[in-house]
Amino acid sequence: MKIIVTGGFGFLGSHLVKHLFKKYVGCTILVVDSLTYAANLGNLKGMAAKGYDFKFTKVSIADDYMYKVIKDFKPDVILNLAAQTHVDRSIRHPKEFVETDVVGTFNLVYWTTKLSVDKIFHISTDEVYGPIIKGEAKETNALSPTSPYASSKAAADLLLLSYIKTYDFPITIIRPTNNLGPNQYPEKLIPAVICRLLSGEKAFLHGEGKEIREWIYVEDCCKAISGIMDKGKPQEIYNIGSGVRYSNKEVIYFIIKEMFGADAKFDDYVEYVPNRPGNDFRYAVDSHKTLKLIGEYSTTSFHSGLRKTVNWYKRNKWFWERSYKNIDANIYTDEYLR
């Protein structure tokens, strides 16, 4: 099997590449990545030396060179994970998100329609549904994004749905919830908190921290994606969630207790800062369609996954020490409007 993984040096992408090599023994994987700030070559260091048939091309999916990449490699499967993904950054730099998440996705499918690829999977996000105050979002829910990031992903999804209707395009859309695990760039909540605390600084709690997110361990998410690769139908949408939901304040509390023990006092390790504009209150998805298709996949408990994540960042200071210091300490200000 020959597989293209776009965005393969990112957080979820690199975990997925490793998972695919283990599951599909003898497969060939070409990672296509433009190596933006959140990518890290160290995420897939030594793959070829370990005997895997691993290849890499540095190119943006928005570049027309993608046609040659796909034509020359002749993949059986394309997994599109190339995206700008950080909500906070999208508020300050929305154009970058449109260029990658919308234009890039269009470019990828435009050239793919000119070539023969058996299976194409687009990794979207649960944020396209917008805030879910009660209940859970099903794959049939209308899209109601509220941030430039979520809107760019929703626009890509709508574009792909139009290609399904107009061109009978064989793409499958996958919408995971928040992932946690090693190798994540420290601008996201969990690694940001861990890295600040490891550096002797306080974690930032934005607003009251009441916003609720659904969490899945990254390796479990990879299992679900490959399960959908095997059993899913083209032109369908699949949610990937765990049913495990916590507020941001609870997540920070769990990290503090994991790092400093049960007697640690929350306020000793937290600095309260203003919330960001339009922070959605709650995300939650209904994953029964995926569970019915592939069976149970979310087998790592939140607390077990968090422990693995904390321990990884403790052991891998090289990964985060320089990058986390370049992240704005408090970007939830009127800087957004300048």
pLDDT (tens digit, 9 = 90+) per residue, 56-85? 999 999 999 999 999 999 999 999 999 987
Catalytic residue among 149, 253, 269, 324: 149
* Residue 334 confidence (pLDDT): 35
Q: What are the two backbone dihedrals, phi and then psi, of residue 46, each rounded to the nearest 5 degrees?
A: 80, 15
168 a catalytic residue: no
What number is the average pLDDT over the span 48-59?
96
pLDDT of residue 273: 94
CA distances from 142 to 96, 121, 138, 173, 298 (A): 25, 20, 9, 15, 26
At residue 85, the pLDDT reads 76
- Does 160 have pLDDT greater than 60? yes
Burial category of 144 from C-beta neighbours within 10 Å (exposed 0-12, middle 13-18, buried 19 and up) = middle
What confidence score (pLDDT) does residue 332 get? Answer: 35
Mean pLDDT of 229-249: 98
Q: Mark whether 211 is an active-site residue.
A: no
Average pLDDT over residues 252-261: 98
Whether 261 shows a pLDDT value over 60: the answer reads: yes
- Report d(CA 120, CA 118) in Å as an integer: 7
Look at the chain and count its residues: 338
The least confident of 19-33, 90-104, 112-126 is 90-104
Encode pLDDT of 273-325 as tens digits: 998 877 889 999 999 999 999 999 999 999 999 999 999 999 999 888 877 66
Out of 16-20, 207-211, 216-220, 330-334, pick the least confident. Answer: 330-334
Which range, of 14-18, 44-48, 119-123, averages the lowest pLDDT?
44-48
The active-site residue, picked from 33, 101, 126, 214, is 126
Q: 86 pLDDT band (50/70/90 cuts)?
A: confident
pLDDT at 327: 61
pLDDT level of residue 326 (50, 70, 90 thresholds)? low
Q: Which CATH architecture describes the domain 2-178+217-240?
A: 3-Layer(aba) Sandwich (3.40)
Taking Cα atoms as reference points, which of 95, 75, 68, 73 lies closest to residue 84?
A: 95
Under 8 Å CB-to-CB from 169, ≥6 apart: which residues?
Answer: 109, 113, 120, 160, 163, 235
The sign of the dihedral angle between the CA atoms of 319, 322, 323, 325 is: positive
Q: Does the annotation mark 126 as catalytic?
A: yes
Active-site residue, selected from the candidate residues 127, 211, 258, 280: 127
Rounded Cα gap, residues 254 and 262, in angstroms: 9
pTM listed for this prediction: 0.94
**Which residue's structure tokens are 């890499």?**
56
* Mean pLDDT value of segment 213-228: 99
Residue ranges covered by each domain of the chain: 2-178+217-240
- Confidence band for 333, pLDDT divided at 50, 70 and 90: very low
